[in-house]
Amino acid sequence: MGLLLDDLEKINQIDLRGMLSVISAVPESAEEAIVLAENVKLKVRHFRNLVIAGMGGSAVGGLLLRDWLQQATRVPIVISRDYSLPGFVGRDTLLFAVSYSGETEEALSAFEEGKARGAKMVAFTSGGELEKRARAEHVTVYKLPAGFQPRAALSHQFISLVVAARKVGIVEDSWWEVREAIDVLKVLREENRPETPQWSNPAKKLATELYGYVPFIYGSRIHEAVAYRWNTQLNENGKSPAGSSFIPEAFHNAIVASEADKELLKKVCAVVLLDPAEGERITAKTRRLMEIMKPCFGKVLEVEASGEGRLARMLSALYLGDFVSAYLGLLYGKDPSTVESIDRLKRG
């Protein structure tokens, strides 16, 4: 397996659509997204809550924004992943409708419902029906670059959400964290890119550890969205079943999985996302959780976030997971970009 991940020619034969190249370009994509988003004129005031409507990869940016700003804003941020919006949505709501393709049924339904309820609206899309409807209603559109899988456009999507949130006054004193996060991602890219050999490449090592196991990701509350991203990236890029839970919630349910059948647990690899800035109570309980899991699970692995700011710590853990998922897909001999099951489901 190690030979495969260091064999660039073999990687290129499997990664036909270049997912690893897209992942490697994330820091520059984020910088480009800042420039593009800053050029969009947005003037919205007098709202009491922010609702971000999106599905799948298009929902992840909203989840990250919510978790990042949880302690930094007094504006409630709610993520809607459904055809219908929450009952409180109305004239005091700012609605961010997010659909990378512009054709997602749930996002289009949320857009129409938000319009009917008098919500203030902004659209984030690469085109399609959402852009068409938004422009017809004179709704501001943050245009995302086309040609990617929705999950691979996260840097553009998330940064556009951040810039929009900044322009409406939600992100104020936290902007320095965006710059720091991009710098941290550049360092991580050098450590985990395909050209870096496995002996010094954390993502390649982790992917090799996960090969043949069912990963389950645990993250503290700050990393709830990040753990979810690991989960979905392992599903889509890694072609692997996976699950996730966040701490301290996991102390009240997921921990009981350690009592499952011993043979079944041998196939599970727990990945625990650690944060150096986490509080003492959560840190102590997380260590205790790992002590309970280690004799039961097939493997228990640790991933420590890096960076000073909350956003850098979140995105550093997320970025490592993106690399890991792509390498795992390659180990299984699968193109990380393809999502044949999703395509079949959409075709009906």
Give me the active site residues, please: 236, 252, 346
Return the closest-CA partner of residue 217 out of 227, 209, 207, 226: 227
SS3 334: coil
Gap between the Cα atoms of 74 and 175, Å rounded: 16
Contact 163, 291 (CB under 8 A): no
For the CA atoms of 210, 246, 82, 127, what is the dihedral angle to 10 degrees?
-60
Contact 54, 61 (CB under 8 A): yes
CA 3 to the chain's CA centroid = 29
Which amino acid makes up residue 205?
K
SS3 174: coil
Q: How many helices (H) and strands (E) does the chain have?
A: 15, 9
Rounded to 5°, angle at Cα 154 from 194 and 345: 95
Structure-token match 């509080």, residue found: 279
Gap between the Cα atoms of 168 and 171, Å rounded: 8
CA separation, residue 312 to residues 20, 77, 184 (Å): 21, 20, 7
Q: Provide the 10 A C-beta neighbour count for residue 44.
A: 14
Q: Provide the 10 A C-beta neighbour count for residue 165.
A: 25
**Bridge partners of residue 3, in order along the sequence:** none
